[in-house]
């Protein structure tokens, strides 16, 4: 078994800085698990704790059934791929990939076999004689991954390995890493700040903030059922729109914010009944917004349950397959994702409506999702 488990894992630095705050979760055997969050949230520290490059202040780390808190990094049977590749500049790609095996005194024939096998998997057979200076960023990253593969570890650790690549190479390497994982069937613990990278790679994803693990779920659960406002705003691009307001005290129940009032469907009103008269935050993703002209022709698509309100178009981003529209409605700003047909222009006035089944509500105080 190659699962990785954390029990109340905590890491404190000098002056009381909390990097990891009582984190408990498990990476399943052969799972591709991604830990995502903004810079400084503690995700790389968590990875380094698994690798043995940092010592936990408290808590337990298990690889399989063995607690590894006091086990040296070289004895944990893990392989780590770093953001900066960490290749030896004076060695060829083949020598870089073989170096750790030589240190372990693996027979030469076995080293050659493992290096060739990894090179074939990664498509770099013709690059083995080159030194890192003669390789592109993507090729160096493949060599770094190959160096990890040849060790046949129980667990792969990836610390933001694609951050130094350009956008096109990142897409290609994401596909490559997913394909390698399916072929090798090894446990992968992957850290990134890029939520798109996390959603496309992770079988499950953990979202981290300020050292705390806020939610662990598959990508679509995080997207459609975020546990709190932070997860809702962090996952998804463009991010979710938020509006601060109150749930009406009197029936019929509605949400009021500024100059507009949103009448709630009976089922949703029932779930929000404990929050009548209280401050809440309404969230809606850009694709949940419908734009219309004049007297709200979009009302029929919204089944009349959500009143439309006027807004002005500020910026339009043409993406080819979709259009991102930035809008101003009174004091509020919002972003809509719409089809490329009938694209509004900057300076135009439009009507805005919300799809009833795309609404999310959060407690204004705790930021927990309430509906």
pLDDT single digits (tens) 261-299: 888 888 888 899 999 999 999 999 999 998 887 556 444
Beta carbons within 8 Å of 19's beta carbon, 6+ residues apart: 11, 12, 13, 42, 45, 211
Give the rounded distance of the alpha carbon of 58 from its chain centre: 26
pLDDT at 15: 81
Domain 241-363 has CATH 1.10.1370.40: no
pLDDT at 306: 56
Least confident interval from 84-98, 190-204, 289-303, 342-356: 289-303
pLDDT at 243: 93
Element (H, E) at 206: strand 204-209
pLDDT at 294: 59
**Percent of the chain having pLDDT more than 90?**
70
Distance from C-alpha of 350 to C-alpha of 312, rounded to nearest angstrom: 6
Position 304 confidence tier, pLDDT thresholds 50, 70, 90: very low
- Whole-angstrom CA distances from 7 to 20, 59, 81, 117, 296 are 12, 6, 24, 37, 54
pLDDT at 63: 96
pLDDT per residue as tens digits for the range 124-141: 999 999 999 999 988 998
CATH 3.40.50.300 region(s) of the chain?
4-234
**Tokens, residue 124:** 């770099």
- Give the chain's mean pLDDT: 91
CATH 2.40.50.140 region(s) of the chain?
241-363
Over range 72-81, report the average pLDDT: 92
Position 343 confidence tier, pLDDT thresholds 50, 70, 90: confident
Distance from C-alpha of 368 to C-alpha of 228, rounded to nearest angstrom: 4
User: CATH number of the domain at 4-234, please?
Assistant: 3.40.50.300
β-pairing, 241-247 vs 309-318, is unpaired
Over range 310-319, report the average pLDDT: 93
Q: Is the pLDDT of residue 166 over 90?
A: no
Q: Do residues 137 and 173 make contact, with C-beta atoms less than 8 angstroms apart?
A: no
pLDDT per residue as tens digits for the range 22-46: 999 999 999 999 999 999 999 999 9
Least confident interval from 101-115, 151-165, 247-261, 332-346: 247-261
Over range 160-185, report the average pLDDT: 87
């Amino acid at each position: 078994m190659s699962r990785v488990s954390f029990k109340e894992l905590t890491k404190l630095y000098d002056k009381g800085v909390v990097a990891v705050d009582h984190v408990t979760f498990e990476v399943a055997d052969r799972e591709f698990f991604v830990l995502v969050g903004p810079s400084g949230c503690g995700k790389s520290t968590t990875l380094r704790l698994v690798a043995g490059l940092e010592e936990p202040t408290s808590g337990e780390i298990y690889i399989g059934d063995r607690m590894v808190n006091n086990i040296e990094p070289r004895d944990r049977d893990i392989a780590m791929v770093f953001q900066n590749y960490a290749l030896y500049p004076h060695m060829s790609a083949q020598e870089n990939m073989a170096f750790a095996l030589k240190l372990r005194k693996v027979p030469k024939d076995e080293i050659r076999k493992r290096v060739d096998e990894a090179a074939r998997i990664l498509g770099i057979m013709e690059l083995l004689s080159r030194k890192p200076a003669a390789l592109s960023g993507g090729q160096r990253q493949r060599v770094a991954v190959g160096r990890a593969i040849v060790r046949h570890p129980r667990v792969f650790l990836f610390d933001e390995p694609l951050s130094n690549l350009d956008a096109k190479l990142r897409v290609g390497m994401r596909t490559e890493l997913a394909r390698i994982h399916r072929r090798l069937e090894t446990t992968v613990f992957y850290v990134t700040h890029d939520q798109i990278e996390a959603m496309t790679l992770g079988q499950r994803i953990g979202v981290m903030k300020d050292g705390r693990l806020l939610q662990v779920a598959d990508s679509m659960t995080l997207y459609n059922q975020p546990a709190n406002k932070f997860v809702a705003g962090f996952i998804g691009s463009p991010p979710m729109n938020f509006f601060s307001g109150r749930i009406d005290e009197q029936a019929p129940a509605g949400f009021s914010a500024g100059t507009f009032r949103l009448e709630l469907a009976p089922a949703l009103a029932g779930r929000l009944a404990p929050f009548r008269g209280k401050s809440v935050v309404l969230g809606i993703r850009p694709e949940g917004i419908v734009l219309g002209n004049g007297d709200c022709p979009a009302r029929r698509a919204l089944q009349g349950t959500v009143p439309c309100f006027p807004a002005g178009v500020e910026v339009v981003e043409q993406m080819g397959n979709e259009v991102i529209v930035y809008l101003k409605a009174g004091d509020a700003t919002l972003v809509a994702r719409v089809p490329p047909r009938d694209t509004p222009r900057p300076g135009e006035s439009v009507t805005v409506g919300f799809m009833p089944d795309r609404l999310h509500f959060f407690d204004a105080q705790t930021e927990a999702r309430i509906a």
